[in-house]
Amino acid sequence: MHGLFADDMGVVVETTVLVADDSNFFRELIREELESSGYRVLLAKDGGQALALYRSHDIHILITDLEMPVMTGLELCWHVRAADDQHRTFTILMTGDSETARRVEAFESGADEFLAKPIDLPMLRARVRAGERITRMHRVMVEMLNTDYLTGVANRRHFMERLEQAYRAARETGSPLAVAMFDIDHFKAINDTHGHGNGDLALKRFADNCAAQVPDGGFLGRLGGEEFCLCLPAGDLESALARVEAIRRSTAGLSVETGTGAGFGFTVSIGLCLDRDTVSVNDLLARADEALYFAKRSGRNRTVLRGAEGVVVKASFYVM
C-alpha cells in the first residue's frame, strides 16, 4: 500500500516525503497531491531549511527544486547523499533544464530521478511510487546487512561503525560515553548440557532482555559467540553502573525452557569502561574487555568497572 512504510523496528509508519521549493504554489500543489495519496509531507522553502528537516526526520523521499536560495537543489542532494551512504532516501530533482550536462551534474550530486516543470501530477505520483519501492528495498537490504541473524541486534560490523561515530561525537562535544562488555557465563557448558539449539535460545533471551533496557542514545551489538557490547551515554558513572547492574540482575532471573519441559537459567559477567582518558575505540574496548576478563576470573555474575588505577574494591560491583 502506497504511503505506508515499516521502520527499522518493524513498526508501520507513513512514508515521509520532504518537498523543498522556494515557490509556495509548487510546495502546496505537491503537498495536496501526495497527502491525498496517504503520504506524510514536510515542506521547506529553501535548501538550508530542507537540510535541517532532513537531519531531524527520517525522510524516505526528497523532492527538491534545482534553483533555490541559501542552498541549491544540487547542493542539497550532495549533503543528503554524503550523510546517506546506505541510500535510505530517494531524491527527485525538479527542473525545467533539459541540458544533458546539467542532468549529469545532478546525478553526480546524488539525485536519483528528475521531474520536469511544470509538474505533471500523474508523473509526480509515478515517480514517488517508484522511489518508495526503491528506498523500501534498500532499507530492507541495509537491515539484513546490519543485523545479527540470530538475536536481531546489531552485528559486529555495524556496531563497530556506530561506536566509532559515537566515540568521535563524544570527543567533539565533551559528552562522555561508556561501553559494557557482556559474556554469558559457562556458555560452553550450556551448549554441551542442553544442546546448541537451546544455547541459541539463551542468546536470544539475553539479547531481548538487554535490548529492552537500552536507554535513549544507547545501542547494543553482538560481537560474536556469547559476547555482546552495549554503548550508552554516561552523563555520570552511577547511572551507567545502575544500568548495567540492572541488566545483570535481570539476566539472572531469565530461564529457557527446553523441548523436554526442563528449564535452565544463566548469568552474565560484565566489564564496564568510560571513555575518559582513552585514546581510541580500540583502547576503550580493550579496557572494557580487561574488566570483563577480571569479572569472569573472580567468580562471574558480576560487574567490574575499569577505572583509574587503584585497589580492587568489593561492593555491589568491582572497581579495577
Q: Which amino acid is at 172?
A: E
Candidates 310, 302, 306, 308; CA nearest to 285 is: 306
Does residue 220 contact residue 229 with C-beta atoms inside 8 Å?
Answer: yes
Q: Which three cell numbers stand for residue 213?
A: 533496557
What are the φ/ψ torsions at residue 273 (nearest 5 degrees)? Answer: -145, 140
- The residue assigned the cell 523436554 is 260
Give the active site residues: 226
| Neighbour-count burial of 147, counting CB atoms closer than 10 A to its CB (0-12 exposed, 13-18 middle, 19+ buried) | middle
- Beta-ladder partners of 255: 265
